Structure 1
Amino acid sequence: MELCDVEILLVLGRTLFSAKDSLDFSLLRELNLMTTKPFLYVFNSDESVLTDEDRKAELKAAVAPADAVFLDAKV
């Protein structure tokens, strides 16, 4: 992948981590870009979401390829 391809990904709002299979990270590593780092999304949900597998799948798909964790952390 060329530098112009990296710019296109960023302009489209995608993270570089989402394209990790087609990028040469050795060229980007020294830039320390946040978008090359893996993301973890934590959904603080109530029990209705935690027990609804379809809703959880929908939320996971919305943040893919990042990982998603679901929890109910009441304060």
Structure 2
Amino acid sequence: MFSNYSGSYAAARPEWSKGWGYTNSSAWADSTMIGTTVPNALRAGRAPGDTWDTALAALDTHDPSRIFSSPLLDTLAP
């Protein structure tokens, strides 16, 4: 999906409730999908100040001790 809908043609954006990052053995275990593909999909085509990195900075500001984290969030937002 990400390779077909890319560039100036279109953009794919992951939806949190869908099954992305799955491997044959586990949910959300595909490190490339979680560490690169999803963040880049939420950076591309976005206005400055409205990107994945802006969201990460806001999370760091509001939860510097990472109280509201989880193993998945720690992988997505290192």
* Alignment TM class, shorter chain as reference: under 0.3
TM-score, L = length of structure 2 = 0.25
Name the one with the larger strand percent.
1
Greater CA radius of gyration, 1 or 2? 1
Q: What TM-score, normalized to structure 1?
A: 0.26
RCO higher in 1 or 2 (8 Å CA, sep ≥ 6)? 1
